[in-house]
A and B are shown apart, each in its own frame.
Chain A
Amino acid sequence: MQEKNTGNSHHIIDYSTYVFVWVMLVGLTALTVTIAGINLGDYTLVVALFIALIKASLVIAIFMHIKLEEPIFKVFIAIILATLAVIFILTFIDYTFR
C-alpha cells in the first residue's frame, strides 16, 4: 500500500554531536542573557532574534533529524518559513507607515 519506505534510519548522528549541539544551545542562551545587559539600542531585538534563529536551526537540523530527511521535508519547512516571513513583512508595512 505504501508508496515509499518511511525509513527507519535512526542514530546515524552519533552522541558526541548531540552533546556538542546541546553545549552550543546552552552557550547561545548564555550569550543572549549577556547581550540583554548591554545597551544595543534598536538592535537589541534583532540580535536576540538572530541568536534564537541559530538555536532553532540547530534543533531542527540535528535534534529533529531534518538534516538527514528526504528533501520534501526541507521544502515544507522552507515554505512555512517563507509564509511567516511574508506575514511579518506585511504587518510591518502597516507599523512602519502609520
Chain B
Amino acid sequence: MANGTAVIAGKSFYEEGTTKSKSGIASWIFSTDHKRIGLLYLISIVSFFIIGVIIAELIRLELIAPGETIVDAETYNRLFTLHGVIMIFLFIIPGIPAVFGNFFLPIQIGAKDVAFPRLNLLSWWLYMTGAVLAITSLFLPGGPADTGWTFYVPYSVRTGSNVIFALLAAFILGFSSILTGLNFVTTVHRLRIKGMSFFKMPLNIWALYATAWIQVIATPIIGITLLLIIIERTFGVGIFDPTLGGDPVLYQHLFWIYSHPAVYVMILPAMGVVSEIIATFSRRTVFGYKMVAFSSLTIAFVGYLVWAHHMFTAGLSETAAVVFSLLTFIVAIPSAIKVFNWVATMYKGSIDPRTPFKWVMVFIFLFSIGGLTGLVLGSLATDVHLHDTYFVVAHFHFVMFGGAGTIFFAAMHYWFPKMFGKMYNEKIADIGVYMFLISFLTLYFPMFLLGYNGQPRRYFDYLPQFQTLHVISTIGAWMMLITITLVVWNLIHALRKGEKAPDNPWGGVTLEWQTSSPPPLENFEEMPNVPNEPYDFSHLTGIKDGSK
C-alpha cells in the first residue's frame, strides 16, 4: 500500500482502512482501497439505476394510453433523455468494471491494490461530479436536456434546454472511465502475482483488460465531440450545424465512433463474469479458454469498425453502408464463439444451478435475442424499415438490460458473500430471477411487435391501434419494478440479517475464493497458490457433488 500499513491478522477491510479517520463517511470517500472504492461505486451506481427505473416507470405510464396522459410532449422528451443519459453514462457503462472490476480485478490476479490507487479514488470523484452536474440541470431554468441521450445536432445546438450541463456531465464521466481503464491496463501488466502468466488469468480479467483498452482509446473521441457541440452552441462556430456551414453527419460519425465501442464497454465485462460463473457452477474448466480470451480482444478491436450501422438512414454513402453492414456481421462471430463455448463448458459438467447460475441462463437467453435482432438491424434493407422504431428500443434493452444489466445482478449474487461476508436467502433470490425473466419479456417483447408495425421511438403519443401492446408493456414495467424491489430488498436484508458466509461458498477456484470473506485490507493474509490452470477443478474428481 501507498502508506505501508501493516496487515493485522484477522481484520477485514471493513475494520481497517487507508485513511486517517478510522470510521465514518471520510474513511470511505477518501479511501484509496480498491475494495472500498468498488463499494462506493456500487452504492452510487445502484442509486442512479433506481432513479433511472423510476423515470422509466413515468415514461411507461404516459404511454398507457394515446394522447397526453400524465406529461406533455416537452416533458416526455426530457424524461426519456434523462432516462437514457442516466442508464447509459451512470449505470451501464461504469457498472461492472467500476464496481466488480475494482473490487475483484486486483484480488483475482493476487495483487494488493490497483496500480494507481489515488487515480482510482479520483475516478470515483469525477463520476460523482459528472452525476451531480447532470442532476443539477433538473433544477435550472430551461430544464434538463430534451435531445435524447445521443445529443444529435442540429437540434442539440438549437434547443433551449440545458444541454450544456448534460454534455459537460458526459465529458467528465468520460474522464472517470478513462482513469479506470488506464488503471486496469497497468494493473494487469504490472501487478500479477508471480506465476500468473497471461494465459493463467481468469477470463474475467481478460474481459476487463480488453474493456480497459476500449475505455482508454475510444472515450477521448466522445470527449472532444461533446466539447465541439459546446463550442458551437456558445460561440456559434460552424462545425456540425448546416446553417453555420457545418456537417451534421460528421457529428453522427464522431458520436458513434465512441458510442459503438461503448456498447462493448457494457457487454465485455458482463461476458467475463459469465465465464466465471459458468465455470464455477459447472465445475469444469471453460471450454476453449484461449478462444474465449482472444474473442474478448477481437470483439474489442472489431467493435471499432462498425459504428456507422447507426447511420444507414442518415445520408451515409451507399458504399460505406455496404462496408459497415458487412463488418457488423463479422462482430457476430466472436460473440457467437463465446456463447458456444459457454454451452460447451456446461456440457457434461456437474451443474449446480444456484442463483448466480440462473441469472446467467437468463442472460444467455435474453442476450441471444438481443444479439440476433441486432443482425436484423445491421442488414441494410430491414434497417430502413425498422430504424428509429420501437424495434430498436426493444433490441437495445435486450442487449443492455437483458445482457449487461442481468449480469450486474448475477455478479451481485455471485460475489455478494465475498464482498460482505453474508449469505442471502437463495429461495427468494431464485424467485427474483424467475420474476425478472417474466417481467422482462412482458415489458420488452411487445416493443418488437410495436416497432415492426411502425410505432416510432421517442414519441409521447401513438395511434389507437397500438394501445394493446403498449398496455401489456406498461404492465410489464410494473412487474419489473416489483421484481427489482424484491431483489434489492433481499440483498439489503441479507446485509443486516444474513448468515455468515464461508470463504468459498460456491467451490470456486479463482484467487478471490482463497481469501477470507470479506477480504483483509491487502487482500490476502498469506500469498495465494496460483493454480496451473485457470479453472482447475481436478481436485473434485470422484467427489459426487452434494453441497447445498
Question: Given contacts A1-B112, A2-B190, A83-B304, are A94 and B317 in contact (CB under 8 A)?
Answer: yes
B323 within 8 A of A: yes
> B320, A72: Cβ atoms under 8 Å?
no
The yes or no answer to B73 lying at the interface (CB within 8 A) is no
Beyond the given A91-B257, A93-B320, A98-B316, please list 8 additional residue pairs across the A-B interface where CB-CB is below 8 A.
Answer: A2-B191, A4-B190, A6-B190, A80-B217, A90-B308, A94-B317, A97-B320, A98-B317
Expressed in whole angstroms, the Cα–Cα distance for A15 and B458 within the complex equals 61
Question: Which chain B residues lie closer than 8 Å to A95 at the CB level?
Answer: 317
**Closest residue on chain A to residue B311 by CB atoms:** A94
Q: Encode contact with A along B282-293: 1 for CB under 8 Å, 0 otherwise.
A: 000000000000
Q: List 23 A-B contacts (CB under 8 A).
A: A1-B112, A1-B194, A2-B190, A3-B191, A3-B194, A6-B190, A72-B189, A83-B301, A90-B308, A90-B320, A91-B253, A91-B257, A93-B317, A93-B319, A93-B320, A94-B249, A94-B253, A94-B308, A94-B320, A95-B317, A96-B317, A97-B318, A98-B316
Chain B at the A interface: mostly helix, strand, loop or mixed? helix
How many angstroms from the CA of A91 to the CA of B319 in the assembled complex? 11
Q: Within the assembled complex, what's the spacing in Å between the Cα atoms of A3 and B319? A: 49
Smallest beta-carbon distance B252→chain A, Å: 10
Which residue on chain A has the smallest CB distance to residue B111? A1
| B213, closest chain A residue (CB) | A79
Are A93 and B111 in contact (CB-based, < 8 A)? no
A residues sitting closer than 8 Å to B (CB atoms) are 1-4, 6, 72, 80, 83, 86-87, 90-91, 93-98
B193 interface residue (CB < 8 Å to A)? yes
Whether A1 lies near B308 (C-beta < 8 A) is no
Contact A83 B217 (CB under 8 A): yes
Residues of B close to A91: CB separation below 8 A: 253, 257
CB distance from A14 to the nearest CB of B (A): 29
Nearest Cβ on chain A to B249's Cβ, whole angstroms: 8
The answer to whether B320 and A87 touch across the interface, beta carbons within 8 angstroms, is no
Residues of B within 8 A of A2 (CB): 190-191
A97 touches B319 (CB 8 A): yes
- A98 and B253 CA atoms in complex are apart in Å by 14
Of A4, A87, A94, A96, which contacts B304 at CB under 8 A?
A87
Complex Cα distance, B190 from A6, in Å, reads: 8
Q: Is B305 an interface residue (CB 8 A)?
A: yes
- Give Cα A4 to B186, complex, Å: 12
Q: Mark B50-84, 1 if CB is under 8 A from A, else 0.
A: 00000000000000000000000000000000000
